[in-house]
Structure 1
Amino acid sequence: MDMKLEVVVIPVSDVDKAKDFYVEKLGFRLDADFPIDDGYRIVQVTPPGSACSVIFGDGVTHAPAGSARGLHLIVSDVEQAGAELAGRGVDVSGPFHDVTGAFHHAGEAGRVPGLHPERASYGSFASFADPDGNDWILQEITERAPGR
């Protein structure tokens, strides 16, 4: 049986501010904005090229605004993606890799400035946050691991 990740729900405090950030600054496609009733609004956006969407709004999660961590956007060139987002007004970290050379530690622990020394696929990252502090990671993947 196939199982596909379709939607990730993120907690925000100001739906319109989040909508502006994701659509105008990040360039996500606006799929839906349903103001169902007072206290219940659903906004769905999708990153360019992604099959998985992001939902935020009013009454869609009990999680505190800004508490999402480790959301990954996969890019083919982390420097180019970071520069493009910075050009749109997003505060993006410089590229980094993990001290272990593998997947990054939580938060900023183990971060080494610069691209992975061999520019290994899966090994270089950059980060940014939305207006509420939801934490996003750009991960450079140039060659998929077998079976992916």
Structure 2
Amino acid sequence: MELKLEVVVIPVSDVDKAKAFYVDTLGFRPDADFPIADGYRVVQATPPGSECSVIFGEGVTTVPAGSAQGLHLIVDDIEATIGELTSRGVDVEGPFHDDTGVFHHAGKGHRVPGLAPERPSYGSFASFADPDGNEWIVQEVPVRAPGR
């Protein structure tokens, strides 16, 4: 069986503000904007280079706006990505790595400033939030582990 992650739903409070952030600021590809009925609007956008999109809008989730955490965007060069995001007006925290050297803890308690020692794939991170506070993690993966 093959299962592909296609869409992640992001809870937002202001659809137009979210669309401006994801499309205009981050450069996500605008795939769809369907104002179907009063209280039901579906906006879909795709990060550059990704096969998985995000959907946000009105009536697409009951989860409180800003409650998404740990959404990952994978990049080859985290320093270049931080520079690009910052130049687009995004408030980025990082680079950082976890004090365990494995993945990263939830929250900010175990973040060590700077790139992971020896800069291994999967070891360095940055973070930012959308206008509602949904948390995005940028993870550097220049070389994927076998089978991934």
Cα RMSD after superposing both structures:
0.4
Q: Residue 62 of structure 1 corresponds to which residue in structure 2?
A: 62
Residue type of the alignment partner of 1:97: H
Partner of 1:95, secondary structure, is strand
Q: How many Å separate the matches in 1 of 2:94 and 2:134?
A: 18
Equivalent residues, number: 148
Q: Does 1:51 align with 2:51?
A: yes
Deviation per residue, 1:15-46 (Å, 9 max, x gap): 00000000011000000000000000000000
Residue type of the alignment partner of 1:86: T
TM-score, normalised by the number of residues in structure 2:
0.99
Residue type of the alignment partner of 1:120: P
Partner of 2:104, secondary structure, is coil
How far apart are 1:94 and its partner, in Å? 2.0
Q: How many Å separate the matches in 2 of 1:3 and 1:109?
A: 34
Q: Residue 19 of structure 1 corresponds to which residue in structure 2?
A: 19
Q: Does 1:133 align with 2:133?
A: yes
Residue type of the alignment partner of 1:92: V
Q: Residue 103 of structure 2 corresponds to which residue in structure 1?
A: 103
Partner of 2:20, secondary structure, is helix
How far apart are 1:96 and its partner, in Å? 0.1
Residue type of the alignment partner of 1:44: Q
Determine what percentage of the aligned residue pairs are the same residue. 76
Q: How many Å separate the matches in 1 of 2:67 and 2:133?
A: 7
Q: Does 1:147 align with 2:143?
A: no
The runs of at least 4 aligned residues of structure 1 exceeding 3 Å deviation read: none
Residue type of the alignment partner of 1:41: R
Deviation per residue, 1:29-64 (Å, 9 max, x gap): 000000000000000000000000000000000000
Structure 1 gap ranges (5+): none
Q: How many Å separate the matches in 2 of 1:51 and 1:89?
A: 25
Q: How many Å separate the matches in 2 of 1:125 and 1:39?
A: 37
TM-score, normalised by the number of residues in structure 1:
0.99
Residue type of the alignment partner of 2:83: A
How far apart are 1:107 and its partner, in Å? 1.1
